[in-house]
Amino acid sequence: MKVKDLASKVGEVIELKGWVANKRESKTVAFVILRDGSGQCQCIIDVNNVGEKVFNDAKTLTLESSLSILGKVVKDERQVGGYEIHATDLKIIQVAEEYPIAKKEHGVDFLMDQRHLWLRSQRQWAIMRIRNTIIFGIHQFFQKEGFIQMDAPIFTGNACEGTTNLFETDYYGQPAYLSQSGQLYGEAMAMAMGKIYTFGPTFRAEKSKTRRHLSEFWMIEPEMAFYDIFQNMDLIESFLNEVIQKVIDECEVELGIVGRDLTMLEKSIAPFQRLTYDEAVEIITGKQKVNGVNTIDTLNGDLKSKEEEKAAILAEIEEREAKINQQGIKKGERNFNMNKVAQLKNSLKDVEEDLRNIPEWIASATNFTYGEDFGGSDETVLTRMFDTPIMVYDWPHEVKAFYLKRNPEDERFARGVDVLAPEGYGEIVGGGERETDVEKVKAKIIEHELPMKEFEWYLDLRRYGTVPHSGFGLGLERLVAYVCKLPHVRETIPFPRMYGRLFP
């Protein structure tokens, strides 16, 4: 019996197995919040129903102790989930040692050290379930569309985008790298199957300490024969729309737990804004208005509202500190206010960081040099102007990967496309149409100073029945972070691997 199925068992006596998520006790009655992986439910252990012995056992329960409870399901609107259990019996499996994660705010480093336990907390539980729904939704979408799932190798000899951010391993005496993309292999498979997608881990040794980088992350890379860049963009659009819609439909409870504001997420299910690089640059630099406003004015407006927000937080801190210092204040109320102040101070730090950043974004946007790739702040500035994801295509070929096709109308541009998620989440998809002409690919390999010999097999794909083809790569963790509106990708994967962290 699982907590999620209680609705169908009202009035019956059932057994639940799980862990103590929380406990409150008094002389004659104890309240145990039991979590079983499917949800949480309050169990009432009344000495009059279970007897002295069982009640005394219940009193020994600590946080995260494991147990099974027998009891009657009772509907109670006050409870999370709407039901509670009136226990008739209880079997303790283990009384847990003192649990390190308390019911309070913790620091990131501490929580990361306790990741194996942190996963049990409600918020992490919700994120992992949303991740699962997204993964399943991705497979469903591609399978429905007739794609064949393929597994690209993880050891690879090809360093397709330079070796600086590759993990090198010893492969029977020769260097092998951990894959940073399965795309080249995906192209080969697409020539065999028509439409394929990879779904696997990728590794990048970037010594990045930012909210959107991991050293090990999961990437989904579809590759389609006979698709041009515009068909590619159509696919990206319907793909993301369907996956996000599935999460909205199926993860209402989980999205509620992570505190996701659905209005923005719902707005993103729509045709995406499509901009060429040139158009995007015009908007970033403020020369082109969007709905009557330009980026500079928008950012200055943001600056103003952040300042108001800061003032409001400061006022609330002052108010609550005054309350704390009042004579004769109840201890509980005092603690409550102290906790609030601690939270407020944290949000103050965030607001102050925004206040420092926004002027820098304005400066970086106004001074943007045509021809360069977008930086993190440029992406933020651009996405700030729209509610839906943005697809930027036709990039200056110098800043893009060697395998991208040039725009036949204008050779200055490569047919790459980046999808930028709203709300500051930046690039979640990178893709494009691939070069089909063997000589042009060769020229690019030379330009990028890549070892030609190792790419001979890739060139074969152009020698034997080359066709127009396109594909893209989606970063799973970035998508999860965006869907959940998390401040950092480290919470989107069970055991994040990033610069400076290998354990647990």
Partner RNA sequence: UCCUCAAUAGCUCAGCUGGUUAGAGCGAGUGACUGUUAAUCACUAGGUCCCUGGUUCGAGUCCAGGUUGGGGAGCCA
Shortest separation between residue 148's beta carbon and RNA, angstroms: 21
User: With binding defined as CB under 7 A, does residue 24 bind RNA?
Assistant: yes
Residue number with CB closer to RNA (439 or 487): 487
Question: Min. distance of Cβ 129 from RNA in angstroms?
Answer: 20
Least gap, CB of 292 to RNA (angstroms): 28
Minimum distance between the CB of residue 340 and RNA, rounded to whole angstroms?
Answer: 9
Nearest to 59, CA basis, from 31, 18, 88: 31
Nearer to RNA, 75 or 192 (CB): 75
Q: Which is nearer to RNA, 42 or 241 (CB)?
A: 42
Nearer to RNA, 293 or 446 (CB): 446
Burial class (CB in 10 A: 0-12, 13-18, 19+), 202: buried
Binding-site member from 85, 219, 381, 445 for RNA (CB under 7 A): 219
Please report whether residue 214 would count as binding RNA according to CB under 7 A: yes
**Binding residue for RNA, selected from 19, 83, 217, 402, defined by CB under 7 A:** 217
- All residues at 6 or more sequence positions from 485 whose CB lies less than 8 Å from its CB, including other chains: 258, 259, 260, 261, 265, 423
Residues between 33 and 62 that touch RNA (CB under 7 A): 42, 44, 46, 62
Candidates 229, 428, 461, 483; binder of RNA (CB under 7 A) is: 428
- The whole-angstrom separation of Cα 340 and Cα 320 is 8
Burial 225-262 (b: 16+ CB within 10 A, else e): bebebeebbebbbebbbbbbebbbeebeebbebbebee
Q: What character string, x for contact with RNA (CB under 7 A) and - otherwise, covers 293-332?
A: -------------------------------------xxx
Q: State which H helix or E strand residue 335 sits in.
A: helix 331-366
Interface residue with RNA among 261, 297, 308, 333 (CB under 7 A) is 333
Residues between 363 and 402 with contacts to RNA, criterion CB under 7 A: 373, 375-377, 379, 399
Burial class (CB in 10 A: 0-12, 13-18, 19+), 410: exposed
Q: What is the greatest pairwise CA distance in the chain?
A: 85
Residue 452 DSSP code: G
Chain positions 137 to 196 lying near RNA, rule: CB under 7 A, are 161, 165, 181
DSSP 378: H
Q: Which of residues 79-118 bind RNA (CB under 7 A)?
A: 79-80, 84, 86, 98, 100, 102-110, 112
Count the residues of the shown chain that bind RNA, applying the rule CB under 7 A.
80
Where does this chain touch RNA (CB under 7 A) — which range of 119-127, 147-155, 213-221, 314-322?
213-221
- Let me know how long the chain is: 504
Report the site for RNA in 60-79 (rule: CB under 7 A): 62-63, 76, 78-79
- Between the CA of residue 137 and those of 140, 231, 244, 361, 400, what are the distances in Å? 5, 21, 9, 35, 30
Does 135 bind RNA (CB under 7 A)? Our answer is no
- Give Cα separations from 67 to 3, 72, 120, 167 (angstroms): 14, 16, 16, 44
